[in-house]
Structures are given as structure tokens and as C-alpha cells.
Amino acid sequence: MTKKRQILIIGHNTRGCTPEHEKLAYETGAEIANSDSVLICGGLGGVMTAAAHGAKDAGGLTVGIIPQSDASEANEYCDIVIPTGMGLTRDFLNALSADGVIIIGGGSGTLSETCAAYMHKKPMVAIKYQNGPIEQFIDGYIDHRENVKIIGVENPKEAVEKILELIS
């Protein structure tokens, strides 16, 4: 049996998450499930809930890696919950657990996860025009190391197609 691809979705938590972010995350989660990949997320609200919801509705498997030590803190769409008790340090677990990362908006937590993925050269795509801190790095690099380019895409279908291409 071969290992399933694991795709991390990162973006706005409940605060700052707009209906547009939720729609994009839901559709991206469904696309991940339809690609027979596992959806990984931070297991909490906003983009994480919407993405897991979309993946579940499409019959996919979802994993939430949460910063708390109590699994009940995860959103209801997580099939597997990994309660780390590590606080924000769990951002590194999220990044390292993924074969590739899809970014939808976000704030400083999203930036932290993006930097963790960048340092470990994980393929990344970002849906454009979502006003997150990553916007300035789309189709470029975070720093002089040029570890991995963050590829800009227009929509959820393109995001999953591109991340699968980059993973293989």
C-alpha cells in the first residue's frame, strides 16, 4: 500500500475569516478529498473548519493538528485529532506533516506556518487576492535563500492541481 498524499491548508482562523475565505477553503477541501489526498489543517475555526467540512462532504479523510492538549477543542469535521499541547509551536508539526501546502489568506499564524514550510522546502501554492501577509511573496520567495517559490493560483481547483503537480 502506498502512502496517501497529505495536503495542508492554512489561512485565517475564525477572526478575520470572511465568507469568501470560507467558500474557497470549503471548495479546496473538497478538491483535496476528490484527489484521494488527506487534508491536514490546524483543526480549529475559520479556514480550517471550512476546509475540513468540504473534505468531509466529499468523502475525504481529515486530520486536525491542534495547539491545545484536549482533543475536544478541534472542529467537528476532523476525523483524526492530534492534540499537541504545544501552543503555536505546533505550526512546525503542521508544516512538516504535509507533502504540500495551500494558503488561503491568513494572519501571523499563517505566516509562521508558511515560514516553517519554506524552511523545509515544502511545495506551496497560495490563492491570490486574499489580503494575507503571504500576498507579497506570491510568485516569489520569502527570502534570499530561494528555498521554494510560493506559486499563485486563481481558484481551489487550480490550487489542488498545482500542488499535486509540485508534489509529484
Average pLDDT over residues 4-25: 95
| φ, ψ at 122 (rounded to 5°) | -80, 135
Average pLDDT over residues 35-40: 98
Kind and range of the H or E run holding 11: strand 6-11
Please, which pLDDT band fits residue 1 given cuts at 50, 70 and 90?
low
Output the average pLDDT for the chain.
96
pLDDT for 2: 82
Please, which pLDDT band fits residue 16 given cuts at 50, 70 and 90?
confident
> What is the pTM (predicted TM-score) of this model?
0.97
Cβ proximity of 97 and 64 under 8 Å: no
Question: Which CATH number is correct for 6-167, 3.40.50.300, 3.40.50.450, 2.60.40.10, 3.40.50.720?
Answer: 3.40.50.450
| Closest to 44 in 3D by CA, of 20, 21, 24, 15 | 15
> pLDDT for 68-113, tens place per residue?
999 999 999 999 999 999 998 999 999 999 999 999 999 999 999 9
Give the β-pairing of 150-153 and 124-127. Answer: parallel
Q: Where are the domains of the chain?
A: 6-167
Question: SS3 for 6?
Answer: strand
pLDDT for 132: 85
